[in-house]
Amino acid sequence: MKGRNSVKDIRVRNRAAVLRRVVLVGETTRAVLANECALSPATVTSVVGDLIREGLVEEHGSLPSDGGRPIARLRPVGAGAHLIGVDVGEHGVTAELFDLSLRRMDRVFHRLPTRVTSPGQVADTLGAAFHQLRTANPESDETLIGIGLGLPGIVGTAEDGTNIIHAQSLGWEPTALGEVVGSTDVPIFADNGAKTLAMAETWFGAAAGQSHSIVVLMGRGLGIGVIAGGQLLRGSSSSAGEWGHIKVSLGGPTCQCGARGCLEAYVGGSAVVGRWRRAGTDVTGSDEEALAGLLDAADSGNATAARLLDETLEILGLGLANLVNLFNPDQLVIGGWAGLRLVERRHAQLDQYIAEFALMRPADNVTTVLSKVGDDAVALGAALLPLEQFIDGNLPARSAPLSNGTRSLLAHSVRAAGQRRPIRLPLSPGHHQRPAAPVTATAAGDRFLVSGSGPLLSDQWSHPTDRVPLR
């Protein structure tokens, strides 16, 4: 038994490594996969064959070879699986639909009724966003494998496995994820927004291939995702990365968390705009627009704006230098709407402050770079939460729609059998391995009850049991 389990574990790991790499690079070959995944060519050929039969990978064109057969190019099948990633931000909910190639197919934004909102209001807004996105894209709903959420606050796990949200800055009591999400028919996964940003940067952005990075999320508040040794640091209760609440003064301004002197109370996006407003400026529009106005005013010679901006960058440089001293990263990746705007306009000045406050040795080894994933990185990173579970084999695939030819064959076969007894369904042409259990179909009203597993003509059955319309 132990040997069989060990072999099974190896197969699962090999499958995950190959599928992750195909999704990550978008297009590759079997030989390249063998090299990058440190697997034998025979193993990769077997795994790729399985993934092709599952409808997750396909051959797409070829490359010339040195005298032999052309080399087949491989890519993920976009329609093989779909995911929703959500950024629950300070102003509203951004929900995005992705296919397996992580191409964004659709995006909706629903504004929250108030800036500091209740779990029930967030649940209502999420429900409306999910409904709009799924109603507008019915063809993807059958293969929707999960929803990922990037949330404010700490997302921990109770002893019974329930996700608990600790959003102290929003004034919430510890809240079960179900109270924030409501009822859904697909698996839900959640993490802190800074951590989902770090995941997106690690997969596709500035932190890709880096072993030691700190990804900084600067929006209304502050947070970080620490990549140490190639792994996202979580801590004993998933609260690692609450950088906005380190103290930079005694008796300083009151933070949204209720404490005084937090870094976030000085250089969080809302705090900077608040100081700009208290300086006597008539600030209108959103915080993003107000911050852009502050930067423009400083560039135009406004002395008050220039002084306020210099103070902000000095304190921000101090906070980042503390990270450099603590974690010795190779790079600081700055993201979030406030971080992107500040660094785009004041990169060199910020680097000077970091070098001034950090120890020379770690400061010499670090560079500051902008996020490469952009403003929607939190939602993309959230979509990676269910995707990683799916790749690792912890989520089942969902059935893809039947082709017209397969549906017609089913209808003819079941009717010929008198719609009373199960019929065995044929395997796809060229597929020589018999399914683990017979695939059968029985009429049930106006639908087929399909049982078993294995490829059915051009369609791959993923559910042990599924109901297929006759029409």
**pLDDT tens, 140-198?**
988 999 999 999 889 988 888 888 999 888 888 999 998 888 778 889 999 999 999 99
Beta strands in 280-394 (DSSP E): 331-335, 367-370
Query: Which three-class secondary structure state does DSSP give residue 378?
Result: helix
The tokens of 383 are what?
Answer: 């979509």
Q: What is the mean predicted confidence (pLDDT) over 435-458?
A: 41
CA distance 42 to 36: 14
Residue 334 has pLDDT above 70, yes or no: yes
pLDDT at residue 33 above 90?
yes
pLDDT mean across residues, the chain: 84
Q: How confident is the model at residue 95 (pLDDT cuts 50, 70, 90)?
A: very high
- Which residue ranges form the domains of the chain, and what is each CATH number? 2-76 (1.10.10.10), 80-197+380-391 (3.30.420.40), 209-372 (3.30.420.40), 404-469 (no CATH)
**Dihedral sign of CA atoms 25, 31, 36, 42 in order:** positive
What are the tokens at 50? Answer: 């399985």
Reported residue count of the chain is 471
Distance of CA 375 to the CA centre of its chain: 13
**Long-range Cβ pairs for the range 177-186 (8 Å, 24+):** 177/149, 179/119, 179/120, 179/123, 180/119, 180/122, 180/123, 180/126, 180/149, 180/151, 181/123, 181/126, 181/149, 182/123, 182/124, 182/126, 182/127, 184/130, 184/147, 186/144, 186/145, 186/146, 186/147
The answer to whether 433 and 446 have CB atoms below 8 angstroms apart is: no
- In this prediction, residues 291-312 reach a mean pLDDT of 95
Asked if pLDDT for residue 67 goes beyond 60, the answer is yes
Give the pLDDT band of residue 359 (cuts 50, 70, 90): very high
pLDDT at residue 32 is higher than 50: yes
- pLDDT given at position 130: 94
- The H or E element containing residue 107 is strand 104-111
* Among 104, 112, 121, 90, residue whose Cα is nearest residue 218: 90
Written as one letter, the residue type at 118 is S
**Other CB atoms within 10 A of residue 177 CB:** 18
Q: Which residues contact 447 (CB under 8 A, 6 or more apart)?
A: 467, 468, 469, 470
Contacts of 122 (CB under 8 A, 6+ apart): 88, 93, 112, 180
Does the pLDDT at position 138 exceed 60?
A: yes
pLDDT recorded at residue 342: 95
- 152, 221 Cβ separation under 8 angstroms: yes
In this structure, the number of other CB atoms found within 10 A of the CB of residue 134 comes to: 20
Tokens of 72: 């087949």
Residue in 186, 185, 165, 163 with CA at minimum distance from that of residue 174 = 165
Q: What is the pLDDT of residue 281?
A: 86
Q: Which of 83-87, 279-283, 347-351, 405-409 has the lowest mean pLDDT?
A: 405-409
pLDDT, residue 286, reads 86
Q: What is the pTM of this model?
A: 0.80
Distances (CA, A) of 437 to 151, 433, 461: 42, 11, 12
Asked if 168 and 258 count as a contact pair (C-beta separation under 8 A), the reply is yes
Pairing of strands 454-456, 231-232: unpaired
Over 60: is that where the pLDDT of 467 sits?
Answer: no
Question: Above 60 in pLDDT, residue 223?
Answer: yes
The alpha carbon of 243 is separated from its chain's Cα centroid by a whole number of angstroms, namely 21
Residue 149 to residue 396: CA distance in whole angstroms: 19
